[in-house]
């Protein structure tokens, strides 16, 4: 079975540009999470969707960040405009049910904003 799929794996962009990260969760999973990993703060939850509905976006750093989940098999995380401090690895994870068991992570997108 395919795991969580993320694209692109690497993204290098200039400050001020729009960045869109994509995620395909594991088929049948109805919970989706976006995380950001930095050296300073470790792994932080940005936003959580359940059944395609955003439930908790309290971790989204500011209005420049937005996320959508138009259907059960696709989600995007958009940063507009991007800033150098957004440089990090962004992970998407999915799970079956809201609180059941573990979350399964994708390989991540390494974002560099120059």
Partner 1 sequence: DQQVKQNSPSLSVQEGRISILNCDYTNSMFDYFLWYKKYPAEGPTFLISISSIKDKNEDGRFTVFLNKSAKHLSLHIVPSQPGDSAVYFCAAKWGDSGGSNYKLTFGKGTLLTVNP
Binding positions for partner 1, rule: CB under 8 A:
4, 31, 33, 42-43, 45, 48, 50, 55-56, 91, 93, 95, 98-99, 101-108
Nearer to partner 1, 76 or 81 (CB): 76
Report helix, strand or coil for 15. Answer: coil
CB 109 within 8 A of CB 8: yes
Dihedral over alpha carbons 31, 91, 25, 49 (to 10 degrees): 30
Report the nearest approach of partner 1 to the CB of residue 1 (Å).
14
Report the nearest approach of partner 1 to the CB of residue 67 (Å).
15
Nearer to partner 1, 16 or 28 (CB): 28
Q: In the numeric block, which tokens belong to residue 58?
A: 């309290």
């Amino acid at each position: 079975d395919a795991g969580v799929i993320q694209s692109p794996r690497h993204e290098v962009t200039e400050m001020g540009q729009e960045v869109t990260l994509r995620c395909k969760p594991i088929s049948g999973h109805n919970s989706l999470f976006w995380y950001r990993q930095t050296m300073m703060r470790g792994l932080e939850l940005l936003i959580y969707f359940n059944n395609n509905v955003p439930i908790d976006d309290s971790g989204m750093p500011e209005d420049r960040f937005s996320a959508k989940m138009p259907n059960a098999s696709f989600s995007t995380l958009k940063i507009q405009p991007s800033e150098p401090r957004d440089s990090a690895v962004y992970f998407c994870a999915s799970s079956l049910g809201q609180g059941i068991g573990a979350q399964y992570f994708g390989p991540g997108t390494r974002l560099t904003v120059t």
